[in-house]
Chain A
Amino acid sequence: MAIEPASDDIRLGPFRVVADEERVARYRREAGFADTLEKIVPVAFPAVWMTTSEIGEAIRAALAAENAIAVHESQDFRYCAPLRVGESYDLTVSMRREASPPRLVVNAFVATQGGEARLHAEALLRIVPRPAALEGAL
């Protein structure tokens, strides 16, 4: 599993993130987990860490020169080992542009505070012209 960003990517972080017990429990409910799975951090949970203002601003900055929005095209989570409720991790993000088709590729790397890799997540964001109806909305 590729676990390091390429050298020419835009890099963000590392950010200290936590699999907060209360937020994990709420996320499990929203994803439809049974109560018997209460100790699990959902595989998709790290997506919540990608909505922080620093990462959102970096994505907006990457699109600043064009009247465009990013549409979530695909998402991939690859784990070396599961996350644990209550534990803190280091999140590093890298981004790169692809020209054809126009995309922003956002990679997230999560490791323990001791440096052990836990997961690599990749989001493909398709860059599309901003619909007129969205002017000022996003």
Chain B
Amino acid sequence: MSGLRLPCVGERLPDRRIGPFDAAALEAYAAVSGDDNPIHLDERLARAVGFRAPPVHGMKLLAAFEPMLLAWRRDLFLARLSGKFVQPVTRGEAVTLTARVLRASEQEGVFLRLLASGESRAPTIVGEALMTLPKRVGGR
């Protein structure tokens, strides 16, 4: 992995605030993703299950980390993105995405801890990312 400019362990990326997402935004994501689970779209159903509003698709939030990471280091390839969906954020809530460098080495690349939090500040996604130098076969 020669040539990798290593960040400092502990470096925190600039936070990214997204949302709040309205019903139209959830419908647009459902349409493009194919995830048309009515729990995300039907307020009556969401309330019946115990949410105060339809929950935002977890995958929509997980996907939102990528532009944040590429804005930080466009020279790296996002080789791994993972997240555990801890608790939902609901329609109308803003979400804050944070990322911090956990490890960095020329051999393995840059590991980051990812957190997405709703307005309660409790984590909604706990994830991680691995960024590496682009491979010759698929550099983008």
How many residue-residue contacts, CB under 8 A, span A and B? 116
Main secondary structure of the interface of A (DSSP, over half): mixed
Q: Is the CB of B85 within 8 A of A44?
A: no
The yes or no answer to B8 lying at the interface (CB within 8 A) is no
Q: Is the CB of B78 within 8 A of A43?
A: yes
User: Contact string, B33-65, partner A, CB cutoff 8 A, digits 1/0?
Assistant: 111111100100100111000000011101110
Query: Complex formed: what's the CA distance from A80 to B70 in Å?
Result: 18
Q: Is the CB of A31 within 8 A of B60?
A: yes
Known: A33-B66, A47-B59, A138-B37. A75 touches B82 (CB 8 A): yes
Query: Complex formed: what's the CA distance from A37 to B84 in Å?
Result: 26
Query: Complex formed: what's the CA distance from A47 to B83 in Å?
Result: 13
Known: A26-B32, A74-B85. A81 touches B49 (CB 8 A): no
Which stretch from A5-13, A96-104, A129-137 is at the chain B interface? A129-137
> What total of chain B residues lie within 8 Å of the partner, measured CB to CB?
43
Q: Is the CB of A44 within 8 A of B62?
A: yes
Query: Complex formed: what's the CA distance from A133 to B82 in Å?
Result: 31
Least CB distance from B120 to A in Å reads: 20
Contact pick for B38, options A34, A73, A76, A138, CB 8 Å: A138
Least CB distance from B136 to A in Å reads: 9
Least CB distance from A33 to B in Å reads: 5
The yes or no answer to B9 lying at the interface (CB within 8 A) is no
